[in-house]
Structure 1
Amino acid sequence: MDLSCWDIPKLINLLTRPNRKPVLLDQTESVYLLLLHICPNTSLNPLIINNIFISLSHALPITMVKQVRRYALFQATPDSEFVKEMYGGYFNVFVSAFGDEGEQWDLFRVIDGEFPRDDDLEKYDGFVISGSLHDAFTEEDWIIELCTVCKKLDVMKKKILGICFGHQIICRIRGGKVGRARRGPDLGLGNITIVKDLIKPGGYFDETESLSIIKCHRDEVLEAPESAIVIGFSEKCDVEIFSVEDHLLCFQGHPEYNKEILLEIIDRVHKIKFIEEEIVEKAKDSIEKIEPDTQRLHMLCKNFLKGRRTHLV
């Protein structure tokens, strides 16, 4: 078909008449439907559609509609009164740390039994599992369900960022061993040594040799899964960071936390006698001496979730 059969000026006049909103063109199908609506009796082929689109694009206020990236937070802990008052809930803390403009983030309070439907899992680009006061190695119903969902996501090769409790859940579903920390609870700020030999140049970690991170846990990964690469360790914990293939990345520490949140947690767990006085004092002392590598940690996690950088070895 000769493109001349199309009255391009007429189309432009129709679509640019006063008070008309900008045309939203997403995929080839959208262009096809638009043109078919204007000229219903004309058969089109992709080459003609492309030529018409190019002609129109020079004259129309076209907005290209990008596919919205979608992520989900599996929240495994209730919101503290402090976090609700200061941030509106942990969900906002996570989105602020790992989200970007234009993305859609959904919240599933897995601790309350909220999970996405199986047929909705494919819609997401990535998932984040939060920390929790619960033990990842127990047989509580919601923890068993969380493991089941994470196994499905693992098979689908969906990206999962596991944090603290989430780190341990991923270890569990991959066949590793989780239990009480061998060297006792770890609370405060601490340094992680990065195993540089396992990092490909230009990867998520770049040239990072160490990271300062907020820690708040009494359980840990005792044995990493056979399929895991242990990327980071510390004096207190042998498995601080591990990855599996290209879709699982886990931190024992909390890249999403800040000092305010940590201080509130310290006071709260101290009141319920969850930790000893000596640990509390050491934790508060570390807060005064060390600054977390917040910006680097946030960027690292974003790079992983969004696949922005070269992959880990």
Structure 2
Amino acid sequence: MKIGILQPGLVPEEILNTVGDYDTQFHRLLGGNGFEFETWKVVNGDFPTGPEDADGWLITGSRHGAYEDHPWIAPLEDLVRAIHAAGKPLIGVCFGHQIIAQALGGKVEKSDKGWVVGPTAYSYPDGIKMVNAWHQDQVTELPPGAERIASSEVCENAAILYPGHAYTVQPHPEFMADYVEQLIRHRSGAVPPPLVERASGMLEQPLDSAEIGAQFARFFKEGRIA
């Protein structure tokens, strides 16, 4: 099964050589499932010809906001709608979670609840899952037909299921401790110091990232997360 990775952002240069780009991190998360991967860096205007270029699609994170004015945002939203209409399975993570919601009629905003960084607890129907996060923007209104699957104390719409079409999450199951450590070192200037301190102190916290990765693989292969 070929998974097309749509990359709306680039890992900062000072971190890239340590942990790899966004697509590499998803190769690790989804490894062992027999997937083949191809990446399109949509942030650079590199787009596939259409949904038929892959069997399933994944949109990664980005430092950009889904509501910002970039020349690649509208084409990416068009592609999301085309993938949705074609019935191809679609996964979105952080920015991917947000742009899919926005493209399908939801709303994305910079949250007045502030930043969420490092290991964070999310309430799923089958219990609490601890996953790394790094965001301030959130999906504040669900698109028609979307179902909330998980929430946290500060992020109501943390995981969204579009039955038979897409599954998206706000946190980053692909982020391991080494990447969060690098973000803290190089990219935490806008984050309030108490949140940085908390994240730094929780870097060794056991995570449920592999379980979320298993949900992604199951959704790609079977159209379900459980």
TM-score range, shorter chain: over 0.9
Within a 5 Å distance, the mapping from 1:124-139 to structure 2 comes to 124-139=54-69
Superposition deviation, residue 301 in structure 1: 1.3
Q: Which moved more, 1:136-145 or 1:216-225?
A: 136-145
The residue aligned with 1:147 is: 77
Residues 83 and 116 (structure 1 numbering): CA distance in 2 closer, same or farther, change over 3 Å?
same
Within a 5 Å distance, the mapping from 1:295-306 to structure 2 comes to 295-306=210-221
Aligned counterpart in structure 2 of residue 98 of structure 1, from 27, 30, 35: 30
The residue aligned with 1:80 is: 12
Aligned counterpart in structure 1 of residue 195 of structure 2, from 256, 267, 279: 279
The residue aligned with 1:215 is: 133
Runs of 4+ in structure 1 displaced over 4 angstroms?
A: none
Superposition deviation, residue 252 in structure 1: 0.3
RMSD (Å), alpha carbons: 1.8
CA contact (8 A) 2:117 2:196 kept: yes
CA contact (8 A) 1:246 1:312 kept: no
Superposition deviation, residue 210 in structure 1: 1.7
Aligned residues: 226
The residue aligned with 1:266 is: 184
Superposition deviation, residue 312 in structure 1: 6.0
Superposition deviation, residue 81 in structure 1: 3.3
- SS of residue matched to 1:221: strand
Superposition deviation, residue 104 in structure 1: 2.0
- SS of residue matched to 1:242: strand
The separation in 2 between residues aligned to 1:188 and 1:266, in whole angstroms, is: 9
> As a proportion of its length, which structure holds more helix?
1
1:304 corresponds to which letter in structure 2? F
The separation in 2 between residues aligned to 1:298 and 1:182, in whole angstroms, is: 29
Aligned counterpart in structure 2 of residue 234 of structure 1, from 152, 170, 195: 152
CA contact (8 A) 2:146 2:161 kept: yes
User: Which consecutive residues of structure 2, in runs of 5 or more, have no partner in the other structure?
Assistant: none
User: Which consecutive residues of structure 1, in runs of 5 or more, have no partner in the other structure?
Assistant: 1-68, 197-207
Structure 2 length-normalised TM: 0.93
**Greater relative CO, 1 or 2 (CA 8 Å, sep 6+):** 2
The separation in 1 between residues aligned to 2:127 and 2:60, in whole angstroms, is: 25
Residues 300 and 102 (structure 1 numbering): CA distance in 2 closer, same or farther, change over 3 Å?
closer
Residues 279 and 102 (structure 1 numbering): CA distance in 2 closer, same or farther, change over 3 Å?
closer
Q: Does 1:192 align with 2:126?
A: no
Superposition deviation, residue 213 in structure 1: 0.5
The separation in 2 between residues aligned to 1:312 and 1:107, in whole angstroms, is: 23
> As a proportion of its length, which structure holds more strand?
2
1:142 corresponds to which letter in structure 2? W
Please say which structure displays the higher CA radius of gyration.
1
Superposition deviation, residue 158 in structure 1: 1.1
